[in-house]
Amino acid sequence: MLLALVPAVRDIAVGTADSGGGDMATLLGASSQLWATGLIFLRLASLVMLVPGLGDQAVPARIRMGFAFALALVVAPIVRDTLPPMPPGLGAMVGQILHEVIIGLMLGTLMRVLIYTLTITGEIMSLQTTLSFAQTANPAQAQPSSSLSTFLSMLGLVLIYATNLHHLFIRAMVDSYQVFAPTKTVMLGDAATLMLQLVGKCFLLALQMAAPLIVFALVFNIATGFVGRIMPNFPVFFAATPLSVLFGLSILALSLGATGMVFIDHYQDVLGIFIRGEHG
């Protein structure tokens, strides 16, 4: 659909140049204003499609696009001065479109990566408590995952919106026009390095949050092994499995508050990368 509109926009640009260099008035405003709003919409739409919560598979695409369009109309007067002028040729137009789409997808992916920390934490906890076989649908991923993983990912999403951390999403969208200026080339190398650092940080943070259950499972399994060696005829598996689930869930309940606080603090630090005032 966007590609179908490009020739029309090109004709407007050519007609504008022929009429003396002024903007052609359209139903939605001048052609340059329409082009600037379209570029802003492309970046924000690509970002909204991946942002945690609003970009989940359970949210219809029309709602996401509608929110991105409304946000583009609000943000346009703020960031319009940072946008390049409307190019006269089709090739330059396509280049600017791809530039904004790539930046939006890159930022959205970076914002979503850390939310998978709780998913990984839940999978580790499920393995330690023998609950990995308990599968349930994850609304954020549109695919089944372990019950603990789904619970923790939904908990992280609720904490983000309950603590008003989602306000930083909008601020990061606006400040991205200063951090990732439309007139500069896309910093793919820096983005790849940042992505690798975030992925490593996700696994390290997941191990830290699952550490209490990992220690419990290690001690409990060693103790169960000793009992099995001392009393070979004792049904260790049938006696140990309910205790493992009971004690494991109890430790999870006791450490749930600390887990949520650690996740929120780290997520706020990640969002600070895209905010101009906190960008190093």
Ramachandran class of 234: left when φ > 0, alpha when ψ lies in -120 to 50, beta otherwise? beta
DSSP-assigned letters across all residues of 192-227: HHHHHHHHHHHHHHHHHHTHHHHHHHHHHHHHHHHH
Give pLDDT tens digits for 147-189.
888 888 888 888 888 888 888 888 888 888 887 777 777 777 7
Give the burial string for 35-71 (b: 16+ CB within 10 Å, else e).
bbbbbbbbbbbbbbbbbbbbbbeebeeeebeebbeeb
CA–CA–CA angle 99, 37, 75 (5° rounding): 100
Neighbours of 266 (CB within 10 A): 17
79, amino acid identity: V
Closest CA to 126 of 236, 258, 217, 222: 217
Q: Tokens for 276, please give them.
A: 């101009």
What number of H helices and E strands is found in the chain? 10, 4
pLDDT on residue 142? 63
Give pLDDT tens digits for 45-91.
888 888 888 877 778 888 888 888 888 888 888 887 788 777 787 88
> Would you list the domain boundaries of the chain?
1-109, 114-280
Contact 31, 86 (CB under 8 A): yes
Residue 27's pLDDT band (cuts 50, 70, 90): very low
pLDDT > 70: percent of the chain: 86
- Three-class DSSP category at 127: helix
Q: Tokens for 83, please give them.
A: 């946008």
pLDDT on residue 276? 62
- For residue 30, list its beta bridge partners: 25
Give pLDDT tens digits for 84-140.
777 787 888 888 888 888 888 888 888 888 888 888 888 888 888 878 777 777 776
Q: What's the predicted TM-score (pTM) here?
A: 0.74
Contact 52, 139 (CB under 8 A): no
